[in-house]
Structure 1
Amino acid sequence: MNEIKKPINRSRIRQLVGKEYFILKRKYHWLSSGKKWATTKGNSDFKNLVFEHSSMILRPLKDVDMYLQENKRKNLEIAISQINTVIIKPNETFSIWKLVGRPTKRKGYLEGLILSQGQIAKDTGGGLCQLGNLLFWIFAHSPLTVTERYRHGFDVFPDINRKVPFGAGATLSYNYIDLQVKNKTKNSFQVNLWLDKTHLNGTLTSKNKVNALYTVEERNHIIKQQYWGGYSRHNQIIQIEDLNGEQTEKLLVTNNAIMMYNPFLNE
């Protein structure tokens, strides 16, 4: 099928009121859900590397001022300080926003790049989606279970030097568009994050060795013209667990996005 309705442009007031409503709704959920949240930090006993990944911080994008990319570095620095070394114990749920909190100017967050209704915009704390993308890719290569993940409904930029499949990430918007994973194993895991001059880096380590090997594949990628004239892009992200030669596949996410550029441009 792969049909997507033509996007609705909502007013600025409607967007702001709706956002605050969903923020309050999510805060109530935090209090009433009964989940055990991962909040403990530590720096020992987690010597087993499960997976590691890095992503470039300063990435020139068409029609995007580079100062927004520089500000993103600062925003990432503040956010990862709240997550680095957090331990995810058995039956605990890891939530980015539960740990990071609301990104505000008072906390030192700067104006950064965001996407609003498929258009490039600016807002305090912008650029943190890179953190969601990195952590999703790391968690996808682990026995942790992704319980909440969202993706932009728009594909804004063409693939340039893409190192991971389209849609293999997680968008963020405080606090109801979150990335959450639950530890349904008997092992404990630790998230480690740091910045260097060029990259955001992350590792997931475990207290006990993880015997299975996890890989991720993109399948059923397709670009389709919609009935209203625009183009859309679709795929599936599959996790493959290999335990002593026995493979098990799990569908992690299905992506459906409206393309904001001509998919058939000449190189």
Structure 2
Amino acid sequence: MEKQLTKPLQRSMLRAKAGMVYYGMKRRLLWVRMKKQFAHEFQNPLPYVIFKHQTPLLRELKDVEMQYQYNKIINLKLAVKKINGIVIHPHEVFSYWQLIGKPTRRKGYVDGMILDHGHFCYGIGGGLCQLSNLIFWMSIHTPLTIIERHRHGYDVFPDANRTQPFGSGATCFYPHGDLMIRNDTDQDYQLNVEVGETMLIGSWRALAPLDVSYTIIEKNHEMKAETWGYSRHNELYRQVYDLDGQLLHEEFLLSNHAMMMYSPYLEYEKNAQS
């Protein structure tokens, strides 16, 4: 695993905007070329739950106004309406942004929290990464194939109350930072998501149950001191088990490399001073 991480360069506002236009055009051309491959059919829930997961809607975060967390729920409800019940037939592709579209005020989206180079700010449609994170985590517990996923380049929060391995999510930024999932199996898969009272709830469903199960594990985790701060690295692997709980095989999924926005020794230093 390559563990060298260079600090991102600060680009000018003009260059950043030009990049957005360029990569936005490339994305739209890709959508045109792939139009016939995209999943577009919605159905009532299929009978078998393949994997389900939920994440809390509200978290108290330091220096973040709770109003923007409530705004995030508004944004999630709008986005969920565009994808809940979508069926991916064999050889079809699920595209997060192709289905949801651009979040705008005209559509009802409001300012929510977003991360920009590791720092909090607010923008239209903020908070939708919680939905892409959920979908990605569920998808790697199925036979579906991830053909596009973008990792978070910054590790913003310490591991307190973390229930999933570091780097097990997928960030999204319209339109060129997409999450795309292809169905390379011989049966239909359906994505179901809903915004509950306290949780964002999701599941992948199918016409028949699986004869295997999946467990995601972390390997080669490391935090490194760089000249500019700290970096964090790991690899995620998927273990495949039969219905008797016997390990069939293990496969590499992805590697993560991120800039840490906090000191890894913060908790140790705090305890040492008390």
Deviation at 1:34, TM superposition (A): 6.5
Measure the CA separation in 2 of the matches of 1:74 and 1:212: 37
1:70: which partner in 2? 70
Q: Does 1:205 align with 2:195?
A: no
Q: Do 2:150 and 2:179's aligned partners in 1 also have CA atoms closer than 8 Å?
A: yes
Matches of 2:35 and 2:105, distance apart in 1: 31
How far apart in 2 are the matches of 1:139 and 1:95?
A: 13
Match of 1:59 in 2: 59
- Which runs of no fewer than 5 residues in structure 1 stay unpaired? none
Unaligned runs of 5+ in 2: none
**Alignment partner of 1:238 is 2:237:** yes
What pairs up with 1:1-267 in 2 under 5 angstroms? Answer: 1-33=2-34, 36-44=37-45, 46-226=46-226, 228-243=227-242, 245=246, 247-266=248-267
Residue type of the alignment partner of 1:198: T
Counterpart of 1:134 in structure 2: which amino acid?
A: L
- The AA in structure 2 aligned to 1:242 is Y
Question: Does the Cα contact within 8 Å between 1:82 and 1:100 map onto a contact in 2?
Answer: yes
Contact 1:83 1:191 in 2 (8 A): yes
Q: Secondary structure at the match of 2:205?
A: strand
- Structure 2 Cα separation of the partners of residues 118 and 15 of structure 1: 16
Contact 2:149 2:170 in 1 (8 A): yes
Local SS of the residue matching 1:174: coil
Deviations 1:198-246 (A, max 9, x none): 11000111012211111111111110112x2310000111112223535
Residues of 2 paired with 1:166 and 1:12: CA distance?
31
What's the TM-score once normalised by structure 1's chain length? 0.95
Tell me whether 128-137 or 32-41 shows the greater mean CA deviation: 32-41
| Amino-acid identity (%) | 42
Query: 1:30, CA displacement in angstroms?
Result: 1.0
SS in 2 for 1:79: helix
- Inter-partner Cα distance in structure 1 for 2:247 and 2:259: 37
Q: What's the offset of the Cα at 1:17? A: 2.4
d(CA) in 2 for partners of 1:84 and 1:177?
20
What is the Cα deviation at residue 14 of structure 1? 2.4
Displacement of 1:50 after TM fit?
0.4
TM-score normalised by structure 2 residue count:
0.93
User: In the alignment, is the contact (CA less than 8 A) between 2:239 and 2:247 conserved in 1?
Assistant: no
Q: Structure 1: which amino acid aligns with 2:39?
A: A
Judging changes above 3 Å, is the alpha-carbon distance between structure 1 residues 62 and 222 closer, same or farther for their aligned structure 2 residues? same
CA–CA distance in structure 2, aligned partners of residues 264 and 221 of structure 1:
16
CA distance in 1, matches of 2:181, 2:169: 13
Distance, in Å, in 2 between the alignment partners of 1:188 and 1:117 is 38
Query: What is the CA–CA distance in structure 2 between the aligned matches of 1:127 and 1:188, rounded to whole Å?
Result: 29
In 2, the alpha carbon distance for the partners of 1:34 and 1:235 equals: 35
Amino acid corresponding to residue 8 of structure 2 in structure 1: P
CA contact (8 A) 2:84 2:192 kept: yes
